[in-house]
Structure 1
Amino acid sequence: MTLRGLLLPRAATPARRPGSGVVLALAGLAALGSLATQLVVPALPPIAHAFAASPAAVQKVIGVYLLGLAIGQFVAGPLSDRAGRRPVLLGGLALFVCGSLAAALAPALPLLLAARLVQALGGACGIVVARVMVGDLFPPDEVAARQATLMSVVLISPAVAPVIGGLIAEAAGWRAVFGLLTLTGALVALAALGRLGETRRTPAAPGPGLLAAWRELAGLPRFTGHALAIACGSAALYTFLAAAPFLLARDHGLGPRDTGLLLLLIAASSIVGTRCVRRLNRTGRGAVRGAAWAAGGAMLLVVFAVAGWHQLAAFVGPMVLIGFGTGVLGPTGIAQVIVARPGLEGTASSLAGAGQMLASALASSLIGAADTLHLGTVVLSLAALALVFAAYGRRPA
């Protein structure tokens, strides 16, 4: 088979119904984006030592990657609506592998940052296309539950990747971390090349231009409400994650190990939330209910702080509820975003995903050295906005 034949969209054969195995494979694709963030975090000090760079300079290894993920999602979604899911996915995986290899071989920090940008642009394609393919493959009444399966797998990555990255960096050096990402990306690309066909059901006829598509989506309450709800819910969670380690250390005397174990509860509670999506979304109100759980957790945090209850349980309990709520909100919201406008699934997914990432980055960077009351107030405000937007998203167009 020629290279052109490999990359061109290959028609999907609807001979049998896709199962959880397909969703797990797509979740592996989406998890690459998160893996390339969390796996690298423990390697930042060795990178700083290798290049004789300051911590602030080396932190750009993460910042540039997050920026690339946001930019890449803006581009990948519209491309998948026009060129098809398969070529965008395979092209993104190629970029990810090339960027990872270049990062492993980078002789200087600026070249490492450039490689990280390429890696992120490729990783963004997997995040967007995996979500859209789930929407292509399953009927609307199953999409939220299947998105929840995808998200639960993706959430495992932040829990285990830092441990693996730290062990590899300590045993074999920071370049081995990028070597592992190169190998992982190559294996995923080979699997996608052989097993994933084209899933786009609409013809490849030219659709509206990018700006016209954005305007059309912005006029749909189902898209706008749920996209903004996802962004606010994610911003609430990441704001909490940004401030929690400092509060746990200052107010409760916890070291990095114990703090890490407690923060694992957020990932665990979010995974539990994704597994409850089918039950909570039976009447199509999953996003509203998820936002309500997160807002309830944030409200408890505020109440406990005002009442002067500073025990560890008064901090951890609301934290678990916030994680659970966002675990429900994420997949139910993205399911509504994707089906808001047939033919623009990729554009809708990319726009919502990029907005989610930008809102999370902005909110978490502005929280600063907050006390528990300040943190709870900010998180409650964001979760309440998510609840309002999720309710707005249920309005008819």
Structure 2
Amino acid sequence: MAGAPRNILPAESEAVIASDVKIQVDKVYKIFGNRPDDALAELRAGAQKAEVLQKTGCIVGLNDIDFSIRRGETFVIMGLSGSGKSTLIRHFNRLIEPTAGRILVDGRNIMEMNAKELLAFRRNGISMVFQRFGLLPHQTVLENAICGPILQGVNRREAVALGMEQLELVGLKGFENRFPRQLSGGMQQRVGLARALATQADVLLMDEAFSALDPLIKSDMQEQLKDIQARLKKTIIFITHDLDEALHLGDRIAILKDGELRQVGTGEDILFRPADDYVERFVRKVDLSRAMVAHEAFEKIPVLTEMEATSERSSALLREHPGVIVTNGTASCLLARGASGSAMPVASVDAGAAIGHCFPLLAAEDAILVTEDGAATGMLTREMAFKALARSARVA
């Protein structure tokens, strides 16, 4: 693989329909120092970050960042300390102004907003969850949750109803009259999330929101965020230095190094088609069983109602497929090839579940059902799981 950095957009990303794009980052540069114009000229002439520092005394924060974010996706920006990820996320609400470039939200360049327009955008269009919670210690949980709607001009009764709705959504109903000091770290982060959601903004910025939490609470918050996102379909920009977290949460991932964009793609793209040597080294020690999902390993099989699942029809289908799903409309069972007797209930997993999550179930049963949109559509066996992991290991 080539060692030089490349801004990689996989083929599936290049064909994004314009109407699906919520945010467009267009050739954004950020340079810190007293000679930004000189530093920008050096960068555009091909100079590297260290050269720019030596020649101009300026620090390159971001260098020609260019990508789009789809409406309703969780887009993870990751990199090590100093990569530029926290600098980048603060451009989306203009807490940091770029040296050059544009950021368009719903087609509008936010860099052209005047002070009044920018204030309205920050109050209504975009919200942020901070790493260190950022709660007001003298206010109750509910008061913290409704500060956004109150600033938006929502009357207090409506704001309280909205705040209570969000607190229930994040599992804090009953804690609305407590103060932040009375809550655990994980609960305080939930208040921060409820506060961001209460603004009803379309875009949610999360700057290493879970990094201050212990591993168990962090895992719980990740699952809660996935559940909330499945229901609300916000456009989430999530910053992390944790690759496992990025793979678990992100629909797509952007990897930064020294202010440069090295690759944008799905978790599968990043793991199995790294753009350069840096990305390859970055993902080398990832546990593939946690990165690969059941959808990539299972096999779709016929689905029959109980009335359709006659012995003759089931036998005919089993000659062509490894199993048949038999459903009564509310529950599904599996009739596997070689099994004697009728279809039997077995464990099931969602198609998006990690292969590693399936191993304990496959240790107890020869096969499990895989569901898509709540309905059983296929089966996963130990052999299927191992073959998928072996294929991926060869690709990697």
Same fold at TM > 0.5: no
Greater per-residue helix proportion = 1
More RCO (CA 8 Å, sep 6+)? 1
TM range (shorter): under 0.3
Greater per-residue strand proportion = 2
Q: TM-score, normalised on structure 1? A: 0.26
Q: TM-score, normalised on structure 2? A: 0.26
